[in-house]
Each structure stands twice: as C-alpha cells, then as structure tokens.
Amino acid sequence: MAVQMLFDDLRRVWGGPAGGPRSHGERTRQAILARALKIAAREGLAALTIGRLAEELKMSKSGLFAHFHSKRALELATLEMAGEVFADAVLRPAQASRAGIERVWNLCDLWLQHVERRVFSGAYFFTGAFFEYASRPGPIARAINQVAREWFKTLRKAVEEAQEQGEINPDADAKQVAWELNGRLVGAHWTYLLEGGSRCHEARAPLLGRLRELATGEIPATAFESVRTWKKYLQGRP
C-alpha cells in the first residue's frame, strides 16, 4: 500500500511533465520499475529477474526485455528510481526548510518518516542494499554508494550551515556529527524492523537530545524540552 501511495505521488509513473502525458511505452516502463522496486525493497536486488517481472505483470519476457535489455540495466534503473523516491521523500522537502538546526532536524525527522510510512516496504533501500553491495565492484555498488554519499553530503552540509548560522557549536566536527546522526537513524530502522513502528517515534527524543548538546545559545533551552515543544518552537519561528 505504501509503495502504491508513493507512486501515486510521483506523477512520472503515470503522467509526464506539464507538457503532457507520457507515451504508452514510457508508462509501461514506469509500471515495470514500480513493481521491480516493490520486489527489491522487500527481497533485495538479487530477487529481480526478467522472468519474475514478466509473470507478475502478465507480460511476455521479450516485451519486458525490450525495455531494459539486461538484468543489470533493470537493476540500475530500479536503483535510479529508488534514489528519486528517497530524494522526493527526504532530501527535497528538507532542503526547502530553513537553513540551520531546523534543516538538520528535518533531514532526520523525514528520514524516520520515510521508514514509518513504509516508503520502501523492507530494509533494502537503501540500508540493506548498502550493506549488501557497498564493498563489491561494479556499477550496482557505484550507484548505491553514490546515493549514500549524497545523503552524507547533504546531512554534513546541513550541520555546517547550522554552524554558520550560529545555531550549532562551531567546534563540533560536522562530518563526525553527520556520521553519528546517521548511525542513530539506521539503528532506529533496525529496531523498527525488529519491534515495530513505535520505536522510530521513540528515536526522535534522543536525536533532539543530541541537537540540544550541539546547539548554541541562539536556540532557547526551553525549545528542547520535548519533541512536541521543539516542533512548536520551529513552527513559531519568525
């Protein structure tokens, strides 16, 4: 359900840009990728095969092969779509928020939301895929590593911007902070998979506590009393 909701949100699945609808071939290709992403998110990229997709989509293998030509091309296209999904769910909304500690928080909060909403119904995008492929050679590993690098770059830049805004201690190592925050998020994801959704909600208080430790006096101490007071503070900022 979450994957379907997601692709309803992504207009490129069934519609194109403002200039008009996509062709039948483009719509078919996107439908194939939507199903491929659903499978890979649950079972990993290794579960993707031309035969399985053809059977599930009630297409001929030759018809499906015409869109991708090889399993490797299918995997790379699926990773590309997964990257766009992650960007739409986390990176772009966070980048639209106020630069500073608010953006750092929003990156973490939206990351947790993408787990809670089951944007990817499983552990494979991108947490599982990274562990599975990151140390391997080849284009699949390079594509996964590129997504991971972009995430770290975005998170680190947000911390640096917060330091420039005078909202995070300038003596903090921005790279180390980004690694630490990501570790907390991945740990929350693991716990979510093991114990259920409430664990992601519980991860926000420790994240907020770490931001309180990093924050300068520009942010009032009362804002950090709870996740609720923090969100209220952010909503009331001029």
Where in the chain are the domains? Answer: 2-73, 76-236
Report the CATH fold assignment for 2-73.
Arc Repressor Mutant, subunit A (1.10.10)
pLDDT at 102 over 90: yes
Tokens 């959704």 map to which residue? Answer: 197
**Domain pair 2-73 / 76-236, same fold:** no
Neighbours of 177 (CB within 10 A): 23
Q: CB under 8 Å to 168, separation ≥6 — which residues?
A: 100, 101, 104, 159, 162, 177, 211, 214, 215, 216
pLDDT of residue 181: 95
* Prediction pTM value: 0.82
Burial class (CB in 10 A: 0-12, 13-18, 19+), 87: middle
Distance CA 196, CA 176 (A): 29
Report, as an integer, the average pLDDT of 154-162: 97
pLDDT score recorded for residue 197: 55
Q: How far apart are CA 165 and CA 161, in angstroms?
A: 6
Q: Which residue has the higher pLDDT, 215 or 200?
A: 215
Report the pLDDT value the prediction gives residue 123, as an integer from 0 to 100: 65
State the pLDDT at residue 42: 84
Is pLDDT larger for residue 32 or for residue 173? 173
Q: Which CATH number fits domain 76-236: 3.30.565.10, 1.10.357.10, 3.90.1170.50, 2.115.10.20?
A: 1.10.357.10
The confidence score (pLDDT) of residue 235 equals: 92
Token pair for 235 = 């909503």
